[in-house]
Structure 1
């Protein structure tokens, strides 16, 4: 069994931990912006294929001393890089964290890259080339006080990039956050779903992917596929398993609407790109005319809150309107608002039954739950 680390957005650690448990991970332990877990190679592949809320799956390989640049260089050279890297493979090094002497991530990454390639030249007479676009091996370094945790990045590009979103709106929600909101809202595929301010459609599309049990990583490549120990037979068996588990019907409506025709067109493009155009309904509609499409369901919306879009002082009426619509037209539903402004949330005028602290990128937000009886 190997130890792994799934990186997540701040506030989603518990959600990701439950996801990992559901796919068979053991020793699951949430940490700050990530989750530690254990599993075999199949579990590593499965986590990349199925995780909806994680950015990357890292495999730690060493914890080395790194008081300063020179010590980090010497520490990295003590590792046997032949275990992970052939000279004909390209590499890239990414870095997070800092300490007193290693306070520039680019410099830290450069020290590690130099240490590895100098080790190769000394041992083998030939070294790997750097490729920052599509490397064969991504080495992630995380500085923690006087130590550096070195990991192999098994994901490659971030897992939030499902591959279905060629059209992006002005303030797009990451797919990982959208998937997490569905989990936090306890939405299940037997409940109608509505996002009345859907933008380019991320929330409804993620709902459809979940309802159809489509693995979010089914149509993309991963970093582990160029590792020395890559097992293509195992990977193909997991892809077939995922394909066999897909469903073909959704029994309830999944709807996204927005008053902006341009972003609704973007949502249509994204639905078509994901093959979900027959499962998600998008419509141009002003929030003031929204009606409940069923007698029960889940509504989630992410209205502007004066950070990326709109000005806070001008948005109070919108939040008041949301509260009025929930109360008058959505009896039997559970409604959620994700906002970065508690001042604006007070304009909704309804009592919340739950408040969950989250981050939308670097913006602290709250997911507000309203049960409409």
Structure 2
């Protein structure tokens, strides 16, 4: 297998596929295909390291090992066994198979997992000339069998803990925003690092911290480890080179004007601790403040927020008064661009004006809209 011969799949939350696709293309990969929930692209081995280090809005990166149609367990076994598993797995690999099946003849996921595992083991026994059970005492390889309308996709997870686990969030409140979604909220704006940026509902600081990482072009996976770092067929030098590239591309001198406010002093403490962990101790300004007391200090800027949604009826009046207050404040700053994510379907009515654009996003399992109010030029 040549070093240029891997196909990678970056998985994406619903509605974020275009963002993930553009991030993949920004890394220089051009053979890119976008489907529901995933971006498939060709890369070299180093692409495994670079993708994990750099993709801000993807959930994880998988190595595609095979695709085929299967309508019987025999077909699933034989076609899985025909794949060159010895190119990826050493003889002591700990093989962990997970699965899912949707609208397919082979619908029993436990059976599919078991057959895929047997087929891989059988292939490795043949290739490595092992006539006993495999030891499975080595590195864990998480293999997924995903069947959709009888098409089988086999992958190995290169990421480990999801890409949202950046390593800086040591404290969080209730229902914290995933880092990948926070980065997406920032990337869906036209903000550039030379402009003021405010999150008035900062919680544990995630949106502001992700904005700082973007502003200084710091690879989001810089401070964590990935499953594929332990893989024998990937030289350690490759990871070192990818980290070196990330270090060279970071712009630590880029001045930033990023502020995070929250009405809760405990949230501000959490945000400060997380920012310290992320390396932004003095870079982001934090303040305990009610959004109703917010007053922009500049004519132009960007406000990005994930306010309370008022999911519980008793919280609705308070939440709606927050939306109204924010709308009233921002009306006097027409050059500011405002971006708000909420599941409250009457947000625009309370905010007092219609959004320039709306985008459907999921915050976990909650269906939300991302309301975008573009500032006047």
TM-score, normalized by the shorter chain, greater than 0.5 = yes
Out of 255, 260, 263, the position equivalent to 1:259 is 263
Residue of 147, 150, 153 corresponding to 1:146: 150
Moved more, 270-279 or 194-203: 270-279
1:30 partner SS: strand
Q: What is aligned with 1:57? A: 61
Alpha-carbon distance between aligned partners in 2 of 1:226 and 1:308, rounded to the nearest angstrom: 46
Q: How much has 1:66 moved relative to structure 2?
A: 3.5
- Single out whichever of 4-13 and 307-316 deviates more from structure 2: 307-316
Shift in Å, 1:160:
1.1
1:42 partner SS: helix
For 1:336, which of 318, 331, 339 is the aligned residue? 339
Provide the rounded CA distance (Å) in 1 between the counterparts of 2:54 and 2:70.
Answer: 35
Give, in whole Å, the separation in 2 of the partners of 1:106 and 1:348: 49
268, 271, 278: which one aligns with 2:272: 268
Q: Is 1:242 aligned with 2:242?
A: no
1:37 positional shift: 1.5
Cα contact 1:334–1:371 (8 A) shared by 2: yes
Q: 1:345 to 1:97 in 2, by over 3 A?
A: farther
State which drifts further: 302-311 or 281-290. 302-311
**CA 1:108–1:344 in structure 2 vs 1: closer, same or farther (change >3 Å)?**
farther
Contact kept in structure 1, 2:194 and 2:257, CA below 8 Å:
no
- Asked if the contact 2:54/2:221 (under 8 Å) is kept, the reply is yes
What are the ranges of 5 or more consecutive residues in structure 2 without an aligned counterpart?
Answer: none
Q: Matches of 1:290 and 1:276 in 2, distance apart?
A: 23
The residue aligned with 2:130 is 124
Q: Sort the Cα spacing of 1:346 and 1:92 in 2 relative to 1 into closer, same or farther, 3 A.
A: farther
Label 1:229 to 1:101 Cα distance change in 2 as closer, same or farther (>3 A). Answer: same
Residue 175 in structure 1 maps to residue 179 in structure 2: yes
Within 1, Cα distance between the matches of 2:292 and 2:143? 50
Verify: 1:351 aligned to 2:340, yes or no: no
Q: Following the alignment from structure 1 to structure 2, what is the Cα–Cα distance between the partners of residues 280 and 107? A: 51
Between 1:109-118 and 1:17-26, the stretch displaced more is 109-118
State how far apart, in whole Å, the 1-side matches of 2:72 and 2:365 are: 29
The one of 291, 296, 301 equivalent to 1:292 is 296
Q: Is the 8 A contact 2:263 2:288 kept in 1?
A: yes
* Most deviating of 59-68 and 16-25: 59-68
Q: TM-score, normalised by structure 1?
A: 0.91
CA RMSD of aligned residues (A): 2.3
Residue 112 of structure 1, aligned match among 109, 112, 116: 116
Cα distance between partner residues in 1 of 2:271 and 2:314: 21
Return the offset for 1:216: 0.8
2:183 aligned counterpart, secondary structure: helix
Question: What's the counterpart of residue 41 of structure 1?
Answer: 45
Q: Quick check: 1:172–1:200 contact (8 Å CA) kept in 2? A: yes
Q: State the TM-score, normalized to the length of structure 2.
A: 0.90
Contact kept? 2:348, 2:355, Cα under 8 Å: no
Match status 1:21 vs 2:28: no
CA distance in 1, matches of 2:324, 2:165: 34
Q: Is the 8 A contact 2:261 2:289 kept in 1?
A: yes
Provide the rounded CA distance (Å) in 2 between the counterparts of 1:36 and 1:65.
18
Deviation at 1:182?
Answer: 1.0
Q: Deviations over 1:227-272 (max 9, x none)?
A: 2321222221221121122222343310111111222111111111
Q: What is the match of residue 322 of structure 1?
A: 326
- Give the count of matched residue pairs: 369
